[in-house]
Structure 1
Amino acid sequence: MYQEERMIQIVNYLKLHKRISVDDICEIFNVSRDTARRDLVKLEEHQKIIRTRGGAILPSFHHDSISNYNERLLTVSEEKQVIGQLAASLVRNKDRIILDSSTTVQACAEKLNVQECSVITNSINQADVLSRKDGVSIHLLGGHLQKEHRYVYGSSVIATLSHYFVDKAFIGIGGISAHGLSLIHEEDGMLKHQMMKQADQVIVLADHSKFGKKFPYRFADLSEINIVITDRLPDPDMLDIFQHHDIEVIVPS
């Protein structure tokens, strides 16, 4: 197993168990204590953990803290790649689609494989990825550049979007709960909501860690979603909520 894969699994373990020791890492991943310590040092450099005597704990992030786009790309998990592949498989030839600026949606852009397709996006990363694909027409929306998270935003972007109609919108989120879709930044949420309004079909891309989470800005209701693509089925309560709103849940077979 590569170091990056262990690092992702160490963080996932911490989310469940709150702390991990060097001995735990050695036993779980069958590695030496030196390797375990190097993993923890690397995670601390990325501000994913706080090292303690003999192990690590998760940092106490405030809700207004989120890694920048390039940092999040470093930890794009296998689950997000699977979600991206499933999302890309829903795009049909000659579809008109919207792709937002999330890293999970970028996984969809990377997997996109159609002969002809029109894409509207506010993400300079998505545009760059798609520029290397033949047959994909790209409309990169113009506006204020959010440098840290690599998307454009503003009233002019929302006004431009309102003139377009598309077959599908692929939307990434911070959290999804009975109260709706949420994230941290209001300007990002307003833009995502406009994207949803322009689409015949709204497809939310969310790994299982997003279920039940609520962030400060709620930008859409569950009634506005058609499909959720995720890496594993949500718990029965969340699944009941999705069924109540007639939301199709797609997971790997």
Structure 2
Amino acid sequence: MFQEERMQLIIEHLRKHNRISVEEIGSLFDVSRDTARRDLIKLEEQDSIIRTRGGAILPSPPQEFRSYKDRLLYVSEEKRAIGKLAAAIVRHGENIILDASTTVQACAENLNGKSCTVITNSMHSADLLSNHASVEIRLLGGKVDKDQRYVYGAPVIETLSHYYVDKSFIGIGGLTMDGFSASEEEGKIKYRMMQAAKQVIVLADHSKFNKRYGYRFADWSLVDILITNQWPSPEWRTFLAEQQVEILIPEPTEDKEL
């Protein structure tokens, strides 16, 4: 096998498994440790990987932080279906936390007048829910990010530390088997929201799997339910079963108006 072919297969392995070791390269392709190291050095020179002690990982994707208004334009039907299913598991009388992600906002849109208390740092969700007479809204106080339409900062984190709620609904920018990642400011808030709940529900469409961002804020031990739009790979299903995380998938529908 030529080096270029082997390097392409190494990249494909990394996309599926997130990391690879020198020993794995030797075993998979029947090459020496020196040959495996030369492959990794060349891949690093091409900016295709990041070498680690004994192996390699893929570089993080470039972080793109569009305004909340822009992100709302790209709320897919898959995200709307995830939000609708999330809203369906909210019971009357519950205290819940909603974060400021657009997928979780789709949950707020589908609460349909359920009698519950919503704690959120999302200005958009608070405004949307103000039309529901049966929903009590507690908008967390702090600094306002006008572009992203959410409240952040130390006061938000401090206030969240005093809450104990039934459910927290958390949208995820990137998830791997190592845990969840986001921007540092968002990650600190999401982590505190997870800690405050009896039950943590993560909302993530299939495109979020195996993505990393700059700040890892939690691992799977905090999560009870994952709502996504399609069944993950067998490897992921085995992992989630080991973590005792329940997977929920929206029912397929021909009606696009979710």
> TM-score interval w.r.t. the shorter chain?
0.7 to 0.9
Partner of 1:226: 224
Percentage of identical aligned residues: 54
Does the aligned pair in 2 maintain the 1:91–1:114 contact within 8 Å?
A: no
Counterpart CA distance in 1 for 2:199 and 2:205 is 19
Instruction: Pick from 223, 245, 248 the counterpart of residue 246 of structure 2.
Output: 248
Please list every run of 5 or more consecutive structure 1 residues that lacks an aligned counterpart in the other structure: 1-60
Does the aligned pair in 1 maintain the 2:61–2:212 contact within 8 Å?
A: no
For 1:68-87, what aligned pairs fall within 5 Å after superposition?
A: 68-87=67-86
Residue 114 of structure 1: how far off its partner (Å): 4.3
Once the two structures are superposed, residues 10-44 of structure 1 have per-residue CA deviations (whole angstroms, 9 ceiling, x without a partner) of xxxxxxxxxxxxxxxxxxxxxxxxxxxxxxxxxxx
Counterpart CA distance in 2 for 1:101 and 1:246 is 26
Residue 64 of structure 1: how far off its partner (Å): 2.8
Partner of 1:179: 178
Residue 113 of structure 1: how far off its partner (Å): 2.3
Partner of 1:152: 151
RMSD in angstroms over aligned alpha carbons?
1.3
Instruction: Pick from 209, 212, 227 the counterpart of residue 211 of structure 1.
Output: 209
Does the aligned pair in 2 maintain the 1:92–1:114 contact within 8 Å?
A: no
Does the aligned pair in 2 maintain the 1:100–1:172 contact within 8 Å?
A: yes
- Normalization by structure 1: what TM-score? 0.74
Partner of 1:194: 192
Counterpart CA distance in 2 for 1:188 and 1:252 is 26
Residue identity in the other structure for 1:119? V
Residue 62 of structure 1: how far off its partner (Å): 5.9
Counterpart CA distance in 1 for 2:75 and 2:185 is 24
Counterpart CA distance in 2 for 1:99 and 1:129 is 13
- Normalization by structure 2: what TM-score? 0.72
Partner of 1:118: 117
Counterpart CA distance in 2 for 1:163 and 1:233 is 36
Counterpart CA distance in 2 for 1:115 and 1:151 is 23
Residue 65 of structure 1: how far off its partner (Å): 2.0
Once the two structures are superposed, residues 38-74 of structure 1 have per-residue CA deviations (whole angstroms, 9 ceiling, x without a partner) of xxxxxxxxxxxxxxxxxxxxxxx96232221110100
The alignment partner of 2:250 has SS state of coil
Partner of 1:135: 134
Structure 1 216/127 Cα, relative in aligned 2: closer, same or farther at 3 Å?
same
Counterpart CA distance in 1 for 2:69 and 2:174 is 20
Which has more radius of gyration?
A: 2
Residue 170 of structure 1: how far off its partner (Å): 0.2
Residue 234 of structure 1: how far off its partner (Å): 0.7
The alignment partner of 2:132 has SS state of coil
Counterpart CA distance in 2 for 1:137 and 1:192 is 21
Residue identity in the other structure for 1:65? E
Structure 1 62/178 Cα, relative in aligned 2: closer, same or farther at 3 Å?
closer
Counterpart CA distance in 1 for 2:91 and 2:126 is 19
Partner of 1:168: 167
Does the aligned pair in 1 maintain the 2:91–2:114 contact within 8 Å?
A: no
Partner of 2:9: none
Does the aligned pair in 1 maintain the 2:96–2:167 contact within 8 Å?
A: yes
Residue identity in the other structure for 1:153? Y
Partner of 1:95: 94
Does the aligned pair in 2 maintain the 1:203–1:225 contact within 8 Å?
A: yes
The alignment partner of 2:104 has SS state of helix
Residue 147 of structure 1: how far off its partner (Å): 1.6
Please list every run of 5 or more consecutive structure 2 residues that lacks an aligned counterpart in the other structure: 1-59, 252-258
Residue identity in the other structure for 2:75? V
Does the aligned pair in 2 maintain the 1:115–1:134 contact within 8 Å?
A: no
Counterpart CA distance in 2 for 1:114 and 1:228 is 24
Partner of 1:5: none
Once the two structures are superposed, residues 191-242 of structure 1 have per-residue CA deviations (whole angstroms, 9 ceiling, x without a partner) of 0100000000000000011111111111110111000001101111111111
